[in-house]
Amino acid sequence: MATESGLIDLHLVYLAGLIIASGLTLLAGYRVIKGPTVPDRVVALDTIGTNVVAIAALFALYRGEGLFVTVSLVLAIIGFISTIAVSQYVIEGDIIK
């Protein structure tokens, strides 16, 4: 990682991205609480999942460590499975029939 750049301070860019993504995750919580219907809440939770994946990727950039990429991949997999499971549960009333 080259941190001593003459042109751009990359750490500042990463920090700004982290702040933006964290704020957006908090804002999406509004739709989880308020959302008129259950699918609204599921969509909002899916968005929160994608935002957390983005936060993990930004943190990997910020620290310059590759470990957090694996963390973000696992978070993406868990988010996908939970979305599928909840939408199955909503229509069928059961996940495994």
Partner 1 sequence: MSTIQLVQEVVIALLVVVGSFFLVVGTLGLLRLPDVYNRMHATSKATTLGAASLFLALFVSHGPRGAGLTSLVGIVFLFITAPTGAHMISRSAQKMGIEFFGDAEWPEEDGDA
Distances (CA, A) of 96 to 16, 57, 84, 85: 43, 33, 12, 9
DSSP 66: T
Closest CB 96 distance from partner 1, rounded Å: 16
Contact set with partner 1 (CB under 8 A): 1-2, 4-8, 10, 13-14, 16-17, 20-21, 24, 27-28, 30-31, 37-40, 42-44, 46-47, 50-51, 53-54, 57-58, 60-61, 64-67, 69-70, 72-73, 76-77, 79-80, 83-84, 87-88, 90-91
Closest CB 42 distance from partner 1, rounded Å: 5
Amino acid, res. 17: G
Closest CB 62 distance from partner 1, rounded Å: 10
